[in-house]
């Protein structure tokens, strides 16, 4: 199975496989996050798509990542 990220770097078209779909989904996700991160989080929480508990959990995960560096 080919690597869709390497395929894109080489200029070839990614196959319509699960990893290719995952890459497309990530690209769409990252494009949707344009703007101020704090505003985006506030919108997610106001709409109910993210709870306070999830926000705290993600914050803890981010802090753990930063401590490992």
pLDDT at residue 15 is higher than 60? no
Q: Which pTM value belongs to this model?
A: 0.49
CA distances from 14 to 7, 18, 19, 27 (A): 6, 11, 9, 13
Quote the pLDDT of residue 52.
94
| φ/ψ of residue 3, rounded to 5 | -90, 115
The pLDDT of residue 48: 93
Of residues 14, 12, 35, the one with CA closest to residue 24:
14
- Asked if pLDDT for residue 69 goes beyond 70, the answer is no
Provide the 8-state DSSP code for 50: S
Asked whether the predicted pLDDT for residue 1 surpasses 60, the reply is no
Encode pLDDT of 16-65 as tens digits: 556 667 788 878 777 777 888 889 889 989 999 999 999 999 999 989 98
């Amino acid at each position: 199975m080919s690597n869709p990220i390497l395929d894109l770097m080489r200029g070839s078209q990614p196959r319509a496989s699960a990893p290719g779909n995952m890459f497309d989904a990530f690209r769409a996700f990252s494009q949707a996050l344009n703007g101020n991160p704090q505003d985006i989080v506030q919108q997610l929480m106001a709409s109910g798509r993210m709870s306070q508990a999830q926000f705290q959990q993600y914050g803890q995960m981010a802090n753990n990542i930063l401590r490992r560096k």
